[in-house]
Structure 1
Amino acid sequence: MAYKSTLLLAILLNPVVSLADPAQDCFAFIVEALLDQGYVVLPQVFDTDYLACLLKELIELNPTDFDRAGVGREDSFQKNMFVRSDKIHWLSGDENYLSRYNRWVEALRLYINKHLFLGLYDYECMFAHYPAGAFYKKHLDAFKNSKNRRLSSVLYLNPQWGAQDGGQLVVYDKISPSPLFEVSPTFGTMILFLSEEFPHEVLPATRSRYSLTGWYRVNESLV
């Protein structure tokens, strides 16, 4: 993985990305990595104080507002415990505690469109809770017969997470059955990847595992 060389190239091409939020300083790195390999893993985007506040608000959501996750959408939607066993809460985007995150997401959308011409139109986001033992079998984020999900993002919110806790995201390419790489869901780690290109799965964890998971979408009527 050529992360260091990619970052150096990004700095040379775009020495100043944004002064609005230090978390936006990685935008050039993200774009170069997506162009080079289709994914990027960032060990720390937001400061720990903000992440702690974000986690506190999210885990205090009313448990009755969570749904058992399913697969597919609209007429093909189904809840299949053999495929996934996590619980999710869809976010409206109007939550006050998400304002900084939403500004970051929107700024990245505009930056990516400017440099990669992906035509990203909007962003949908959910809070995912994987209770101990929960999993999500190998899948693609892009729905069958639909091309609207273009770029996936996952921000992990798991303080003091160790290798013994499990819950890794295992990422594949479309050609080989062997894993391409794994990501441990440690506090503050974020991964972005092209939704249609990388099958992936979530391994069971020994304790509750939390994440903000989202998708940049394109306007399907224009695809």
Structure 2
Amino acid sequence: MSTPETVSFGYEEVAATEKTAKVGEVFSRVAKKYDIMNDAMSGGMHRLWKDRFVRRVKPREGESILDMAGGTGDIAFRMERSGASITVADINPDMLGVGVERAAERGIDTLVWSEQNAETLSFPDQFFDAYTIAFGIRNVTDIPAALKEAHRVLRYGGRFFCLEFSTNEWPGFAQAYDAYSHHLVPKLGKLIAQDEDSYRYLIESIRRFPPMPAFAKMIREAGFTSVKVEPIMGGLVAIHSGWKA
């Protein structure tokens, strides 16, 4: 499948060749305040979502797991406790730098940190037992390519897990959250991170992400079987999973 000539960057349409760089600029700007902003935007709920996500992954001692777009280490720190071998990959060196600093503060020296593009991973075929990506897939320029790469680097029997914002289906709450996210989150970004535009993009990118059934179809088309979707808070976020059979 070829990359389309234009792709969404928030509510803008930009050349596909430009999106990766533009997203990189966003995350370089917000890297230092990324985790503080996650707490502010979600009222701390993102911590519970990530805990639930890792419980679904069930990392085990002796496994090799790739945590893609995991720069600041939030998912990796939770999985590291299991004794699994975790590689944290991110396209953005500034996000990785934050993660390395946080790992040092926690006394964690077992993680491998790797600068990687999700669409063109440098790892061999059938290298990992599990692939995780949390709140990162919507920022990828060519999502089908990234899903195919996830499938390629997994061993047979390997599992894919993705945590991502989605389309809320609760009447009333959906409209309230939409108003909050569009109007208040950019203001929080300006107050806390001194960056309103980056957080406006991040909210817009959520709105442009495919709804749960459409994304599940993309996962199946990448070759995964037993694809499941677990909505959280009516689909505000969702855990997508699949197996490489």
Query: What TM-score does the superposition give when structure 2 sets the normalisation length?
Result: 0.25
| Larger RCO (alpha carbons 8 Å, 6+ apart) | 1
Q: Higher helix fraction: Structure 1 or Structure 2?
A: 2
